[in-house]
Structure 1
Amino acid sequence: MTRAQGPAFGIEYRSAGALAAPRCVLVVRSGPIATIDPAPLVTAEHHVRLLLIAVDAPELDDPPTFGGETPAGSTAAEVLALLREEVPDGPVGVVGERAAALFAVALAAALGERADRLALVAAPLPETGLARDLVSQALARVAADTLVVNDSADEAAPADAAQWYAERLPHARADVLSREAAGALDGRLGLTAVWPRVLAHVAPDTRH
Protein backbone atom coordinates (compact mmCIF):
# COMPACT_ATOMS: atom_id res chain seq x y z
CA MET A 1 0.00 0.00 0.00
CA THR A 2 1.26 3.46 -0.79
CA ARG A 3 0.10 6.76 0.57
CA ALA A 4 0.27 10.13 -1.09
CA GLN A 5 -0.99 13.60 -0.34
CA GLY A 6 0.94 15.88 -2.60
CA PRO A 7 0.72 19.66 -2.66
CA ALA A 8 -1.60 19.52 -5.66
CA PHE A 9 -4.29 17.67 -3.73
CA GLY A 10 -5.91 18.49 -0.41
CA ILE A 11 -7.67 15.13 -0.17
CA GLU A 12 -6.24 12.17 1.70
CA TYR A 13 -5.85 9.00 -0.32
CA ARG A 14 -3.95 5.73 -0.54
CA SER A 15 -3.30 3.19 -3.25
CA ALA A 16 -3.63 -0.50 -2.43
CA GLY A 17 -3.81 -3.84 -4.19
CA ALA A 18 -1.88 -4.51 -7.40
CA LEU A 19 -0.52 -1.04 -8.13
CA ALA A 20 0.39 -1.90 -11.74
CA ALA A 21 -2.96 -3.51 -12.52
CA PRO A 22 -4.85 -2.13 -15.54
CA ARG A 23 -8.11 -2.13 -13.58
CA CYS A 24 -8.63 0.64 -11.00
CA VAL A 25 -11.44 1.03 -8.48
CA LEU A 26 -12.13 4.31 -6.65
CA VAL A 27 -13.34 3.67 -3.10
CA VAL A 28 -14.74 6.70 -1.28
CA ARG A 29 -15.55 6.47 2.43
CA SER A 30 -15.66 8.57 5.58
CA GLY A 31 -14.02 8.11 8.95
CA PRO A 32 -10.67 6.85 10.26
CA ILE A 33 -10.71 3.64 8.19
CA ALA A 34 -11.53 5.38 4.90
CA THR A 35 -8.08 4.82 3.39
CA ILE A 36 -7.70 1.22 4.62
CA ASP A 37 -8.29 -1.70 2.26
CA PRO A 38 -11.71 -3.09 3.30
CA ALA A 39 -10.44 -6.70 3.18
CA PRO A 40 -6.85 -7.16 1.93
CA LEU A 41 -7.12 -10.93 1.53
CA VAL A 42 -10.16 -10.54 -0.70
CA THR A 43 -8.51 -7.74 -2.68
CA ALA A 44 -5.45 -9.94 -3.20
CA GLU A 45 -7.62 -12.45 -5.06
CA HIS A 46 -8.20 -9.82 -7.77
CA HIS A 47 -5.63 -8.19 -10.05
CA VAL A 48 -6.90 -4.71 -9.28
CA ARG A 49 -5.65 -1.40 -7.94
CA LEU A 50 -7.66 0.44 -5.29
CA LEU A 51 -7.57 4.20 -4.97
CA LEU A 52 -8.90 4.72 -1.44
CA ILE A 53 -10.16 8.25 -0.83
CA ALA A 54 -11.23 9.83 2.47
CA VAL A 55 -14.14 12.26 2.26
CA ASP A 56 -15.57 13.54 5.53
CA ALA A 57 -18.37 15.93 6.42
CA PRO A 58 -16.70 19.20 5.30
CA GLU A 59 -15.83 17.71 1.89
CA LEU A 60 -19.27 16.15 1.49
CA ASP A 61 -21.26 19.31 2.24
CA ASP A 62 -23.50 19.69 -0.80
CA PRO A 63 -26.46 21.96 -0.04
CA PRO A 64 -29.04 22.12 -2.83
CA THR A 65 -28.08 25.08 -4.96
CA PHE A 66 -28.67 26.29 -8.47
CA GLY A 67 -25.51 28.39 -8.71
CA GLY A 68 -21.95 28.30 -7.47
CA GLU A 69 -19.80 25.37 -6.43
CA THR A 70 -20.40 23.47 -3.20
CA PRO A 71 -17.62 21.93 -1.06
CA ALA A 72 -18.62 18.52 -2.44
CA GLY A 73 -18.28 19.86 -5.97
CA SER A 74 -14.78 21.16 -5.23
CA THR A 75 -13.82 17.83 -3.68
CA ALA A 76 -15.16 15.93 -6.68
CA ALA A 77 -13.03 18.11 -8.97
CA GLU A 78 -9.96 17.20 -6.90
CA VAL A 79 -10.77 13.49 -7.04
CA LEU A 80 -11.20 13.63 -10.81
CA ALA A 81 -7.90 15.48 -11.17
CA LEU A 82 -6.23 12.87 -8.96
CA LEU A 83 -7.64 10.09 -11.10
CA ARG A 84 -6.37 11.74 -14.28
CA GLU A 85 -2.89 11.92 -12.75
CA GLU A 86 -2.80 8.45 -11.20
CA VAL A 87 -4.82 6.51 -13.82
CA PRO A 88 -4.93 8.56 -17.03
CA ASP A 89 -7.04 6.17 -19.06
CA GLY A 90 -9.11 3.01 -19.02
CA PRO A 91 -12.45 2.17 -17.42
CA VAL A 92 -12.78 2.41 -13.65
CA GLY A 93 -15.10 1.13 -10.97
CA VAL A 94 -16.48 3.42 -8.26
CA VAL A 95 -17.58 2.44 -4.74
CA GLY A 96 -19.30 4.70 -2.21
CA GLU A 97 -20.22 3.78 1.36
CA ARG A 98 -22.87 5.49 3.53
CA ALA A 99 -22.53 9.29 3.46
CA ALA A 100 -20.05 8.98 0.59
CA ALA A 101 -22.57 7.10 -1.57
CA LEU A 102 -24.11 10.33 -2.93
CA PHE A 103 -20.60 11.60 -3.62
CA ALA A 104 -19.82 8.39 -5.52
CA VAL A 105 -22.92 8.96 -7.66
CA ALA A 106 -21.66 12.45 -8.55
CA LEU A 107 -18.24 11.02 -9.48
CA ALA A 108 -19.76 8.30 -11.65
CA ALA A 109 -21.99 10.85 -13.40
CA ALA A 110 -19.00 13.13 -14.06
CA LEU A 111 -16.89 10.24 -15.38
CA GLY A 112 -19.55 9.24 -17.88
CA GLU A 113 -18.72 6.12 -19.88
CA ARG A 114 -15.34 5.79 -18.17
CA ALA A 115 -17.08 4.64 -14.96
CA ASP A 116 -18.41 1.29 -16.14
CA ARG A 117 -19.26 -0.15 -12.70
CA LEU A 118 -20.65 1.52 -9.58
CA ALA A 119 -21.47 0.08 -6.15
CA LEU A 120 -23.36 1.93 -3.41
CA VAL A 121 -23.17 0.36 0.05
CA ALA A 122 -25.57 1.36 2.85
CA ALA A 123 -26.74 4.32 0.76
CA PRO A 124 -29.08 6.65 2.67
CA LEU A 125 -31.88 8.60 1.07
CA PRO A 126 -31.20 12.29 0.40
CA GLU A 127 -32.61 14.26 3.30
CA THR A 128 -34.94 16.71 1.55
CA GLY A 129 -37.25 16.75 -1.42
CA LEU A 130 -35.09 19.26 -3.29
CA ALA A 131 -31.97 17.17 -2.61
CA ARG A 132 -33.77 14.09 -3.93
CA ASP A 133 -34.70 15.95 -7.10
CA LEU A 134 -31.09 17.00 -7.69
CA VAL A 135 -29.70 13.55 -6.88
CA SER A 136 -32.26 12.01 -9.23
CA GLN A 137 -30.86 14.16 -12.03
CA ALA A 138 -27.34 12.91 -11.27
CA LEU A 139 -28.53 9.29 -11.10
CA ALA A 140 -30.06 9.59 -14.56
CA ARG A 141 -26.63 10.55 -15.94
CA VAL A 142 -24.84 7.49 -14.54
CA ALA A 143 -23.90 5.12 -17.34
CA ALA A 144 -22.37 2.49 -15.05
CA ASP A 145 -23.81 -0.91 -14.26
CA THR A 146 -24.73 -0.32 -10.62
CA LEU A 147 -25.16 -2.51 -7.54
CA VAL A 148 -26.93 -1.04 -4.50
CA VAL A 149 -26.35 -3.04 -1.30
CA ASN A 150 -28.37 -2.13 1.79
CA ASP A 151 -29.29 -3.99 4.97
CA SER A 152 -32.96 -4.48 5.81
CA ALA A 153 -32.17 -3.94 9.51
CA ASP A 154 -30.14 -0.74 9.00
CA GLU A 155 -32.41 2.17 9.85
CA ALA A 156 -30.06 4.70 8.22
CA ALA A 157 -29.93 2.82 4.90
CA PRO A 158 -33.03 0.62 4.66
CA ALA A 159 -34.44 -1.50 1.87
CA ASP A 160 -36.63 1.27 0.45
CA ALA A 161 -33.56 3.48 0.03
CA ALA A 162 -31.89 0.79 -2.09
CA GLN A 163 -35.01 0.53 -4.23
CA TRP A 164 -35.17 4.32 -4.59
CA TYR A 165 -31.67 4.40 -6.09
CA ALA A 166 -32.20 1.34 -8.29
CA GLU A 167 -35.39 2.77 -9.78
CA ARG A 168 -33.64 5.98 -10.82
CA LEU A 169 -30.42 4.54 -12.21
CA PRO A 170 -30.45 3.44 -15.87
CA HIS A 171 -28.68 0.14 -15.16
CA ALA A 172 -29.00 -1.01 -11.56
CA ARG A 173 -30.16 -3.70 -9.20
CA ALA A 174 -30.82 -3.57 -5.47
CA ASP A 175 -29.38 -6.23 -3.19
CA VAL A 176 -31.10 -6.00 0.21
CA LEU A 177 -29.52 -8.22 2.83
CA SER A 178 -30.74 -9.52 6.14
CA ARG A 179 -28.70 -8.60 9.20
CA GLU A 180 -27.29 -12.12 9.34
CA ALA A 181 -26.28 -12.11 5.67
CA ALA A 182 -24.79 -8.64 5.96
CA GLY A 183 -22.77 -9.44 9.07
CA ALA A 184 -23.92 -6.18 10.65
CA LEU A 185 -23.37 -6.73 14.36
CA ASP A 186 -24.39 -3.22 15.40
CA GLY A 187 -27.25 -2.78 12.93
CA ARG A 188 -25.03 -0.87 10.49
CA LEU A 189 -23.89 -2.43 7.25
CA GLY A 190 -20.21 -1.87 6.51
CA LEU A 191 -18.18 -2.25 3.35
CA THR A 192 -15.87 -4.93 4.76
CA ALA A 193 -18.77 -7.34 5.30
CA VAL A 194 -19.84 -7.17 1.65
CA TRP A 195 -16.46 -6.51 0.03
CA PRO A 196 -16.34 -9.88 -1.83
CA ARG A 197 -19.61 -9.21 -3.67
CA VAL A 198 -18.85 -5.52 -4.18
CA LEU A 199 -15.36 -6.13 -5.58
CA ALA A 200 -16.65 -8.89 -7.84
CA HIS A 201 -19.11 -6.36 -9.26
CA VAL A 202 -16.80 -3.36 -9.73
CA ALA A 203 -13.77 -5.41 -10.87
CA PRO A 204 -15.24 -8.23 -12.97
CA ASP A 205 -12.91 -10.74 -14.60
CA THR A 206 -9.91 -9.74 -12.46
CA ARG A 207 -9.57 -12.89 -10.37
CA HIS A 208 -6.19 -14.56 -10.52
Structure 2
Amino acid sequence: MSSPPDPPATVTFGNPTAERTVLLLPGSGDRLADPDPAVTARRNVTVLGFATVPASGQPTPWPAQPALDGPLPAVDDRVPHGSLGLIAVGDAAASGVLLAHRLADRVDRLVLISAPVPGVGPERERLEELLGTLTTRTLLINGQRDPAAANAEASWHRQRLPRARIEMIPASRLPHGRLELRIVWARALAHVAPGTAADP
Protein backbone atom coordinates (compact mmCIF):
# COMPACT_ATOMS: atom_id res chain seq x y z
CA MET A 1 0.00 0.00 0.00
CA SER A 2 1.48 3.33 -1.07
CA SER A 3 1.82 6.05 1.51
CA PRO A 4 -0.07 9.34 1.04
CA PRO A 5 1.84 12.19 -0.58
CA ASP A 6 3.79 14.45 1.70
CA PRO A 7 2.22 17.83 2.44
CA PRO A 8 3.86 20.76 0.69
CA ALA A 9 6.94 22.23 2.29
CA THR A 10 7.21 25.99 2.11
CA VAL A 11 9.87 28.63 2.20
CA THR A 12 9.21 32.29 2.88
CA PHE A 13 11.47 35.15 1.89
CA GLY A 14 11.23 38.87 1.27
CA ASN A 15 9.53 41.16 3.78
CA PRO A 16 7.43 39.03 6.18
CA THR A 17 5.26 42.04 7.11
CA ALA A 18 4.56 43.22 3.56
CA GLU A 19 0.94 43.70 2.49
CA ARG A 20 1.49 42.00 -0.87
CA THR A 21 2.02 38.23 -1.01
CA VAL A 22 3.38 36.35 -4.02
CA LEU A 23 3.07 32.58 -4.38
CA LEU A 24 5.93 30.81 -6.16
CA LEU A 25 5.77 27.33 -7.71
CA PRO A 26 9.31 26.52 -8.93
CA GLY A 27 9.93 24.18 -11.82
CA SER A 28 11.66 20.85 -11.41
CA GLY A 29 15.03 22.40 -12.30
CA ASP A 30 14.78 25.20 -9.74
CA ARG A 31 15.75 25.24 -6.08
CA LEU A 32 13.14 26.18 -3.50
CA ALA A 33 14.93 29.39 -2.55
CA ASP A 34 15.07 33.08 -3.32
CA PRO A 35 16.18 33.28 -6.99
CA ASP A 36 17.88 36.66 -6.48
CA PRO A 37 17.92 38.09 -2.93
CA ALA A 38 19.14 41.51 -4.09
CA VAL A 39 16.17 41.84 -6.46
CA THR A 40 13.71 40.59 -3.86
CA ALA A 41 15.02 43.11 -1.33
CA ARG A 42 14.03 45.93 -3.68
CA ARG A 43 10.37 44.86 -3.45
CA ASN A 44 8.08 45.21 -0.43
CA VAL A 45 6.62 41.70 -0.82
CA THR A 46 6.36 38.39 1.00
CA VAL A 47 7.14 35.44 -1.26
CA LEU A 48 5.75 32.04 -0.29
CA GLY A 49 7.27 29.13 -2.23
CA PHE A 50 5.80 25.63 -2.24
CA ALA A 51 7.53 22.25 -2.63
CA THR A 52 7.08 18.65 -1.58
CA VAL A 53 9.56 16.88 0.67
CA PRO A 54 10.41 13.36 -0.56
CA ALA A 55 11.83 10.57 1.57
CA SER A 56 15.33 11.99 1.20
CA GLY A 57 14.19 15.05 3.13
CA GLN A 58 15.38 17.41 0.40
CA PRO A 59 12.68 19.73 -0.97
CA THR A 60 11.78 19.32 -4.63
CA PRO A 61 9.38 21.52 -6.61
CA TRP A 62 5.68 20.91 -6.17
CA PRO A 63 3.80 19.48 -8.01
CA ALA A 64 5.07 18.97 -11.56
CA GLN A 65 2.28 18.29 -14.07
CA PRO A 66 -0.52 17.40 -11.62
CA ALA A 67 -3.72 15.67 -12.59
CA LEU A 68 -5.69 18.81 -13.32
CA ASP A 69 -8.87 17.44 -11.79
CA GLY A 70 -7.08 15.81 -8.88
CA PRO A 71 -6.41 17.30 -5.45
CA LEU A 72 -3.73 19.88 -4.91
CA PRO A 73 -1.79 19.84 -1.67
CA ALA A 74 -3.68 21.86 0.93
CA VAL A 75 -2.54 25.45 0.85
CA ASP A 76 -5.49 27.26 2.39
CA ASP A 77 -3.98 27.28 5.88
CA ARG A 78 -0.65 28.59 4.54
CA VAL A 79 -1.84 31.36 2.24
CA PRO A 80 -2.70 34.66 3.93
CA HIS A 81 -5.89 36.54 3.22
CA GLY A 82 -6.07 39.22 0.58
CA SER A 83 -5.15 39.47 -3.08
CA LEU A 84 -2.21 37.45 -4.37
CA GLY A 85 0.31 37.33 -7.16
CA LEU A 86 1.36 33.93 -8.53
CA ILE A 87 4.51 32.86 -10.38
CA ALA A 88 4.76 29.33 -11.82
CA VAL A 89 7.79 28.00 -13.64
CA GLY A 90 8.34 25.29 -16.24
CA ASP A 91 6.62 22.00 -15.48
CA ALA A 92 4.87 23.62 -12.50
CA ALA A 93 2.97 25.94 -14.85
CA ALA A 94 -0.04 23.61 -15.03
CA SER A 95 -0.17 23.66 -11.23
CA GLY A 96 -0.04 27.44 -11.36
CA VAL A 97 -2.98 27.57 -13.75
CA LEU A 98 -4.98 25.23 -11.57
CA LEU A 99 -4.17 27.19 -8.41
CA ALA A 100 -5.04 30.49 -10.10
CA HIS A 101 -8.34 28.95 -11.19
CA ARG A 102 -9.19 27.70 -7.70
CA LEU A 103 -8.17 31.02 -6.12
CA ALA A 104 -9.65 33.12 -8.92
CA ASP A 105 -11.19 35.61 -6.51
CA ARG A 106 -7.78 36.29 -4.97
CA VAL A 107 -5.06 35.79 -7.60
CA ASP A 108 -5.13 39.03 -9.58
CA ARG A 109 -1.80 38.71 -11.42
CA LEU A 110 -0.09 35.64 -12.86
CA VAL A 111 3.29 34.93 -14.45
CA LEU A 112 3.97 31.70 -16.33
CA ILE A 113 7.66 31.20 -17.11
CA SER A 114 8.77 28.63 -19.71
CA ALA A 115 5.35 26.99 -19.64
CA PRO A 116 5.36 23.86 -21.84
CA VAL A 117 2.42 22.69 -23.93
CA PRO A 118 1.06 19.31 -22.77
CA GLY A 119 0.85 16.43 -25.19
CA VAL A 120 -2.41 15.73 -26.98
CA GLY A 121 -4.98 14.13 -24.69
CA PRO A 122 -7.31 14.78 -21.75
CA GLU A 123 -4.73 16.73 -19.75
CA ARG A 124 -4.23 19.17 -22.62
CA GLU A 125 -7.96 19.55 -23.15
CA ARG A 126 -8.52 20.24 -19.46
CA LEU A 127 -5.68 22.76 -19.37
CA GLU A 128 -7.16 24.57 -22.36
CA GLU A 129 -10.50 24.72 -20.55
CA LEU A 130 -8.90 26.16 -17.40
CA LEU A 131 -6.87 28.72 -19.34
CA GLY A 132 -10.05 30.00 -20.95
CA THR A 133 -11.62 30.70 -17.55
CA LEU A 134 -8.78 32.87 -16.22
CA THR A 135 -9.39 36.61 -16.40
CA THR A 136 -6.21 37.23 -14.41
CA ARG A 137 -3.71 39.62 -15.97
CA THR A 138 -1.07 37.16 -17.15
CA LEU A 139 2.49 37.59 -18.33
CA LEU A 140 4.10 34.79 -20.33
CA ILE A 141 7.91 34.81 -20.25
CA ASN A 142 9.81 32.42 -22.50
CA GLY A 143 13.29 32.24 -23.92
CA GLN A 144 13.96 32.43 -27.63
CA ARG A 145 14.99 29.03 -28.99
CA ASP A 146 14.63 27.49 -25.52
CA PRO A 147 14.01 23.78 -26.24
CA ALA A 148 11.63 23.52 -23.27
CA ALA A 149 9.34 26.43 -24.14
CA ALA A 150 10.00 29.10 -26.75
CA ASN A 151 7.86 31.24 -29.09
CA ALA A 152 5.44 28.52 -30.14
CA GLU A 153 4.62 27.53 -26.55
CA ALA A 154 4.14 31.16 -25.52
CA SER A 155 1.78 31.76 -28.45
CA TRP A 156 -0.20 28.61 -27.61
CA HIS A 157 -0.88 29.88 -24.10
CA ARG A 158 -1.62 33.45 -25.18
CA GLN A 159 -4.24 32.27 -27.66
CA ARG A 160 -6.10 30.54 -24.83
CA LEU A 161 -5.78 33.14 -22.09
CA PRO A 162 -8.22 36.08 -22.20
CA ARG A 163 -5.74 38.62 -20.75
CA ALA A 164 -2.18 37.61 -21.55
CA ARG A 165 0.87 39.06 -23.19
CA ILE A 166 4.26 37.64 -24.08
CA GLU A 167 7.80 38.73 -23.32
CA MET A 168 10.56 36.80 -25.03
CA ILE A 169 14.08 36.73 -23.59
CA PRO A 170 16.86 36.84 -26.22
CA ALA A 171 18.80 33.62 -26.68
CA SER A 172 22.00 35.50 -25.83
CA ARG A 173 20.77 35.83 -22.22
CA LEU A 174 20.02 32.14 -21.75
CA PRO A 175 22.76 30.15 -19.97
CA HIS A 176 23.13 26.80 -21.70
CA GLY A 177 20.27 27.77 -24.01
CA ARG A 178 17.59 27.59 -21.29
CA LEU A 179 15.71 30.29 -19.43
CA GLU A 180 16.48 30.40 -15.71
CA LEU A 181 14.17 31.92 -13.11
CA ARG A 182 16.82 34.24 -11.70
CA ILE A 183 17.21 35.95 -15.08
CA VAL A 184 13.58 37.12 -15.13
CA TRP A 185 12.91 37.33 -11.38
CA ALA A 186 12.87 41.14 -11.38
CA ARG A 187 10.45 41.27 -14.32
CA ALA A 188 8.20 38.61 -12.78
CA LEU A 189 8.00 40.47 -9.46
CA ALA A 190 7.28 43.75 -11.22
CA HIS A 191 4.25 42.15 -12.87
CA VAL A 192 2.76 40.31 -9.89
CA ALA A 193 3.54 43.04 -7.34
CA PRO A 194 3.24 46.44 -9.02
CA GLY A 195 3.76 49.49 -6.85
CA THR A 196 5.81 47.60 -4.26
CA ALA A 197 9.25 48.99 -4.98
CA ALA A 198 10.92 49.42 -1.59
CA ASP A 199 12.07 52.87 -0.53
CA PRO A 200 15.81 53.36 -1.18
TM range (shorter): 0.7 to 0.9
| Shift, 1:41, TM fit | 0.5
Query: Which residue is 1:177 aligned to?
Result: 169
Matched, 1:157 2:153: no
Query: Which residue is 1:198 aligned to?
Result: 188
Contact 2:63 2:95 in 1 (8 A): no
Query: Which residue is 1:15 aligned to?
Result: 12
Contact 1:34 1:54 in 2 (8 A): no
Contact 1:34 1:52 in 2 (8 A): no
Query: Using a 3 Å threshold, how does the CA distance of structure 1 residues 100 and 94 change in structure 2: closer, same or farther?
Result: same
Query: Using a 3 Å threshold, how does the CA distance of structure 1 residues 137 and 80 change in structure 2: closer, same or farther?
Result: farther
| Shift, 1:124, TM fit | 0.5
Contact 2:27 2:64 in 1 (8 A): no
SS at match of 1:74: coil
Matched, 1:122 2:122: no
Matched, 1:60 2:58: no
| Shift, 1:155, TM fit | 1.1
Query: Using a 3 Å threshold, how does the CA distance of structure 1 residues 136 and 81 change in structure 2: closer, same or farther?
Result: farther
Name structure 2 gaps, 5 residues minimum.
1-5, 53-59
Matched, 1:79 2:75: yes
Distance (Å, rounded) in 1 between the aligned partners of 2:30 and 2:121? 31
| Shift, 1:144, TM fit | 1.2
Contact 1:31 1:54 in 2 (8 A): no
Distance (Å, rounded) in 1 between the aligned partners of 2:193 and 2:137? 12
RMSD: 2.0
| Shift, 1:23, TM fit | 0.1
Amino acid at match of 2:175: L
Amino acid at match of 1:111: L
Query: Which residue is 2:57 aligned to?
Result: none
SS at match of 1:41: helix
Contact 2:144 2:150 in 1 (8 A): yes
Amino acid at match of 1:60: A
Deviation digits for residues 148-167 of structure 1, max 9, x if unmatched? Answer: 00112111112111111111
TM-score, length-normalised on structure 1?
A: 0.82
Distance (Å, rounded) in 2 between the aligned partners of 1:57 and 1:128? 24
**Aligned residue pairs: how many?**
186
| Shift, 1:190, TM fit | 1.2
Distance (Å, rounded) in 2 between the aligned partners of 1:121 and 1:61? 14
Distance (Å, rounded) in 2 between the aligned partners of 1:32 and 1:98? 8
| Shift, 1:10, TM fit | 1.3
TM-score, length-normalised on structure 2?
A: 0.85
More off after superposition, 123-132 vs 22-31: 123-132
Name structure 1 gaps, 5 residues minimum.
1-8
State the identity as a percent. Answer: 33
Query: Which residue is 1:6 aligned to?
Result: none
| Shift, 1:136, TM fit | 0.9
Moved over 6 A (4+): none
Deviation digits for residues 58-96 of structure 1, max 9, x if unmatched? Answer: 8435347xxxx63xx232xx124421xxx1x21100000
Contact 1:150 1:175 in 2 (8 A): yes
Q: Which of 102, 108, 118 does residue 100 from structure 2 map onto? A: 108
